[in-house]
């Protein structure tokens, strides 16, 4: 018989691909956590959403996740169940985690692109210290101005739009005033940024001129920034027009052959060549009705080099549904309160997940679904304060064009990948060289049963969740290699299991069970964490080291091996068999096994799943040598400590042994 504690933390995390037609239609994963900042040892509650082509992905069942530290080291792996495009669960940050940040990486089985990257999310870790912090001089704030031409390029002789954004060193917007200056003609136009730090300038740039931006930061310091030179080439713009969105192409060359790729979110729309002519705009119409909510991107390439790119948020059909939440009573210490949530009129169904957080750490800065679902996963660089900038931006499209979005799409395949739910699988393991005889004995027992018209028997598999009062059993068959699978076994949390051989002849053979939950290949994607560098670029790290935790190890093949406890059967098992035999032979005789055997010699060694401190001490330590003091009062035992408590020595919550 084997006994295991199986810890399967169901979590989360990435971009998933579903293969159709010419391009792989991507299924996207986005995670919401209950907070953005946590203390070491905190529980992180999260909810994950899986979207494919703008709708809920219903053909996904498993989300594979890695937790990564600041140095790119993998802390653990896990898998979460997906149902109807939604997953909700939790995980715990290691109690002794020393870093300031921790990262979630996630993927699914359907993500099979060669250049695929896992979904990435960063969580802040608060390191509280009782030491007095050393005094540091406050840094003088620094400000920078970022230039972004519409389409990423300034064409000579054509009207161009220059996007300007001013930020401080923390990434917060800065309000500035300035002007654009032509070195020959002097001042051309003035500008001032809005509350999000954005401004635009529109003009025709001449090839024989140099242009400069002169501006003063909030501290009054004057700055001068050169505007990038104008060039010859092609550029693209996205223009909303009633029920259409126009992909507008133009060039200042006599003739130019370009390659245009257009997609929304992670879904490719088309990829085609166009021959552009000078002085003529080429318009490609897209129906808004065919576009889901998301970021529309257009990229122009010339000889495989990107020469122009632009983006636009498609949001005309946005519908906001706000649930009605009411609290029936206040929550006080040792009291009960009720929260009522109802849907607004016209809405019939919604999924609800609830998390309870510590209100003493008021750092709940979880970003909105807009930034988490549509902005963060597509950004090539970690966004700084996206919710703040989005809310303050008067022209929302300036924010969209001011970012660098990922425009990669997965090449397709005609095959449909099936993502079956993960079930508990195990393999019976014996000492080296013992399996052949064990399996031969098993087949002998099966053949003996066939002669008596009895069905073949296998193993008795018992399982119990922490919240259930008793263990449940089911009979399973195993193959010639000892492999077995538990049907309909979807695990949400910790699980206690027990495996027993049914045939009596096999019960005295020691064995172990190796459990398998997920294919290690499903975690094959490289680790992705941000590099805190000047350009805030990302890097990918391959983690080739083995994984170890308190409850499982990873072998050389990448399989998860759970720790096991071997239970030997000696006098106790013989006594149980004797009582079972007496049960079957008494009048009237029966072939059934007893439902329950009360065996006195077992009482001293049976340990329940949970014990109070008093029960544990009473079991392990002689009562006459122990005194238990709870809240300054004697709670049990005898000895000098009890006398000290009676004299009011002030001991509290102490368990003390006088002897041994």
635: Cβ–Cβ under 8 A, 6 or more apart, which residues?
Answer: 614, 628, 629
Q: Cα-Cα-Cα-Cα dihedral of 400, 406, 411, 413, to 10°?
A: -70
The pLDDT of residue 10 is 28
Q: Pick the range with the lowest mean pLDDT from 258-267, 466-475, 517-526.
A: 517-526
For the chain, state the CA radius of gyration: 33
The residue among 138 and 512 whose pLDDT is bigger is: 512
DSSP code string of 105-169: EEE-TT---TT---EEEEEEE----SSPPPP-PPPPP-EEEEEEEGGG--BTTSEEEEEEEEEET
Among 62, 51, 44, 46, smallest CA distance to 25 is for: 51
Tell me: the pLDDT tens digits for 587-635? 566 666 666 655 554 444 444 445 566 666 666 665 556 666 665 566 6
Mean pLDDT score of the chain, rounded to an integer? 73
Segment 639-648 shows an average pLDDT of 44
- For 645, phi and psi rounded to 5 degrees? -65, -40
Contact in structure between 620 and 636 (CB atoms under 8 Å): no
151 alpha carbon, distance to own chain's centre: 34
Q: How confident is the model at residue 558 (pLDDT cuts 50, 70, 90)?
A: low
Domains in the chain, start-ordered, CATH in brackets? 2-126+362-415+522-552 (2.60.40.1930), 143-226 (2.60.40.1930), 234-314 (2.60.40.10), 425-516 (no CATH), 611-660 (no CATH)
Among 494, 464, 460, 465, smallest CA distance to 477 is for: 460
Contact in structure between 514 and 427 (CB atoms under 8 Å): yes
- The whole-angstrom separation of Cα 112 and Cα 415 is 12
- For 639, phi and psi rounded to 5 degrees? 130, -175
Q: How many CB atoms lie within 10 A of CB 165?
A: 22
524-527: Cβ within 8 A, 24+ apart: 525/14, 525/105, 525/107, 525/111, 525/116, 525/117, 525/118, 526/117, 526/118, 527/66, 527/68, 527/72, 527/74, 527/105, 527/118
Q: How many CB atoms lie within 10 A of CB 104?
A: 23
The pLDDT of residue 589 is 67
The pLDDT of residue 529 is 58
């Amino acid at each position: 018989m084997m006994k295991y504690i199986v810890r399967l933390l169901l979590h989360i995390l990435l971009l998933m691909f579903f293969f159709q037609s010419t391009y792989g239609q991507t299924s996207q994963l986005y995670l919401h956590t209950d907070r953005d900042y946590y203390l070491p040892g905190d529980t992180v509650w999260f909810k994950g959403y899986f979207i494919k082509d703008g709708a809920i992905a219903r053909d996904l069942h498993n989300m594979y996740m890695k937790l990564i530290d600041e140095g790119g080291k993998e802390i653990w792996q896990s898998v979460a169940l997906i149902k109807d495009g939604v997953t909700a669960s939790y995980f715990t940050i290691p109690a002794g985690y020393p870093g300031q940040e921790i990262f979630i990486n996630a993927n699914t089985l359907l993500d099979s692109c060669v250049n695929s990257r896992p979904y990435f999310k960063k969580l802040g870790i608060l390191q509280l210290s009782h030491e007095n912090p050393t005094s540091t001089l406050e840094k003088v704030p620094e400000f920078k101005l970022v230039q972004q031409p519409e389409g990423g390029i300034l064409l000579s002789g054509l009207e161009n739009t220059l996007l300007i954004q001013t930020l401080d060193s923390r990434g917060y917007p800065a309000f500035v005033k300035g002007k654009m200056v032509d070195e020959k003609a002097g001042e051309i136009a003035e500008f001032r940024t809005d509350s999000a730090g954005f401004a635009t300038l529109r003009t025709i740039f001449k090839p024989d001129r140099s242009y400069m931006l002169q501006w003063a930061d909030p501290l009054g310091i004057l700055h001068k920034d050169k505007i990038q030179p104008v060039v010859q080439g092609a550029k693209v713009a996205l223009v909303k027009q009633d029920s259409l969105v126009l992909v507008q192409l133009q060039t200042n060359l006599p003739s130019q052959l370009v390659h245009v790729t257009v997609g929304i979110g992670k879904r490719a729309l088309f990829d085609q060549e166009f021959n552009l002519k000078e002085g003529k705009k080429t318009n490609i119409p897209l129906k808004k009705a065919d576009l889901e909510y998301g970021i529309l991107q257009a990229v122009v390439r010339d000889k495989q080099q990107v020469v122009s790119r632009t983006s636009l948020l498609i949001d005309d059909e946005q519908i906001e549904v706000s649930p009605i939440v009411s609290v029936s009573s206040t929550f006080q210490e040792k009291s009960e309160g009720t929260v009522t949530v109802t849907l607004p009129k016209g809405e019939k169904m919604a999924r609800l997940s609830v998390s309870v957080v510590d209100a003493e750490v008021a750092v709940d800065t979880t970003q909105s679904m807009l930034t988490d679902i549509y902005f963060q996963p597509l950004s090539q660089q970690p966004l700084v304060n996206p919710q703040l900038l989005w809310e303050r931006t008067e022209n929302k499209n300036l924010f969209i064009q001011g970012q660098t979005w990922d425009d990669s799409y997965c090449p397709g395949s005609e095959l449909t990948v099936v993502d079956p739910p993960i079930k508990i699988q195990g393999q019976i393991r014996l000492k080296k060289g013992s399996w052949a005889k064990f399996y031969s004995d098993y087949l002998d027992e099966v053949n003996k049963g066939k002669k008596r018209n009895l069905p073949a028997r296998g193993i008795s598999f018992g399982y119990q969740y922490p919240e259930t009062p008793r263990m449940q059993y089911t009979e399973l068959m195993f193959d010639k290699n000892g492999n077995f699978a538990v049907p309909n076994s979807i695990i949400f949390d910790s699980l206690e299991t027990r495996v027993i051989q049914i045939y009596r002849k096999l019960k005295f053979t020691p064995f172990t069970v190796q459990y398998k939950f997920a294919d290690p290949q499903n975690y094959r994607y490289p680790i992705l964490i941000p590099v805190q560098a000047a350009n805030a670029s990302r890097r990918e790290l391959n983690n080739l080291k083995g994984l170890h935790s308190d409850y499982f190890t990873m072998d050389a093949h990448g399989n998860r091996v759970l720790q096991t406890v071997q239970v030997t059967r000696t006098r106790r098992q013989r006594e149980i068999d004797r009582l079972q035999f007496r049960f079957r032979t008494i009048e009237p005789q029966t072939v059934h096994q007893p439902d329950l055997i009360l065996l006195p010699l077992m009482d001293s060694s049976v340990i329940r799943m949970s014990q109070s401190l008093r029960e544990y001490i009473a079991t392990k330590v002689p009562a006459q040598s122990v005194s238990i003091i709870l809240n300054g009062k004697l709670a049990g035992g005898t000895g000098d400590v009890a006398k000290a408590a009676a004299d009011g020595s002030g001991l509290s919550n102490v368990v003390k042994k006088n002897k041994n």
